[in-house]
Amino acid sequence: MNCGVPYGLCAVRVTRLDSDGNADDDNVVGRHPVTVGFNPNIDQGTDVIARDGCGCSVASIKGRPIFNWFEFTFGKDVLEPAMESLMTGDTPITDAGLVVGVNGASALDCDEEPTYVGFEMWAKHYVGNAPDATYKLVHWVFPRTRWWWGDNTQEEGVGRTVLNGVSASNPLWGSGPYGDGPPDGSDVVEWARWFTNDDLPTATACGELASGAIGS
C-alpha cells in the first residue's frame, strides 16, 4: 500500500437522517464543492498545579483533552438548492417538480429537533506526481451533522454559498447505507477516513433529490 496525500475536493454526499439517526432514502451528491473546513472542538480538561507554602511546585497534572465534535465551514460556488434545503431544514421552493430555491425556516421551538444529515466527502489520492493505482480516492464520513447558513456575500464576481455546521455521534449509521463504507465493515459512530478504490458516487441532477440508493 502506498501512503500518499489527499488532493482536491471531488464530491460531497448529504443523506437525510430521521430523528433517531437512521439514514433516510433522500440524498444529494454534489460534484462541485470548493472547500470544507473541519476543525475539532477539544475540551482541554482541567490543569491542576499544587504549590507548597514557599511557592515551590509539589505536583502538576495536565488535564486530559477530550474530543467534543467537529466544526465545519462548507463553501461552494454552484447553487444547489436541493442540497441546501436538505442540510439546513429550510423549505424547498419547487417549480415543475424541481427544487429551484429555499424558503428560510423560522427559529425552532424549544421542543423541536434540528435537521440532521450524514455528510461525506471525497478527495483524490496522489502518490508522488500521479494518482495512486491501488487506492484512487480518500473518503471521509461524518455520520451525523447539523448545518446553518454562514456568512454570504454577493458582489461583482461569483457569489460563494457558505454553510456552517457541527458534527454529532450516530451509532445508527453503522458501516454506511450505500455499500461503500469502511472496507473492514466497521461501524462509524463519530467520524472516519480511509483509502478507497470505489468510484465516486453519481452526481445528482441540479434541483433533484436522489432516492432508492439506500442498501444498494
Contact between residue 176 and residue 188 where contact means Cβ atoms under 8 Å apart: yes
| Ranges of the chain with pLDDT below 70 | 212-216
pLDDT of 113: 85
Question: Which is nearest to 116 in space by CA: 28, 17, 13, 214?
Answer: 17
Q: How far does CA 202 lie from the centroid of its chain?
A: 18
Give pLDDT tens digits for 125-181: 999 999 998 999 999 999 999 999 999 999 899 999 999 999 999 999 999 999 999
Contact between residue 50 and residue 60 where contact means Cβ atoms under 8 Å apart: yes
Query: Which three cell numbers, joined as nine digits, stand for 62?
Result: 495536565
pLDDT of 60: 92
pLDDT of 215: 47
* Exposure string for 49-69, b = 16+ CB within 10 A, e = fewer: eeeeeeeeeeeeeeeeeeeeb
Give pTM, 2 decimals.
0.90
Residue labelled with grid coordinates 478504490: 197
How many Å apart are CA 200 and CA 202, to the nearest integer? 6
Contact between residue 214 and residue 25 where contact means Cβ atoms under 8 Å apart: yes
Query: Which three cell numbers, joined as nine digits, stand for 110?
Result: 424549544
174 backbone φψ class: left, alpha, beta (φ>0; ψ -120 to 50): left
Residues 62, 50, 68: CA angle, nearest 5 degrees? 25
pLDDT of 213: 52
Residue labelled with grid coordinates 473492514: 184
- In the chain, what are the domain boundaries? 5-41+70-196
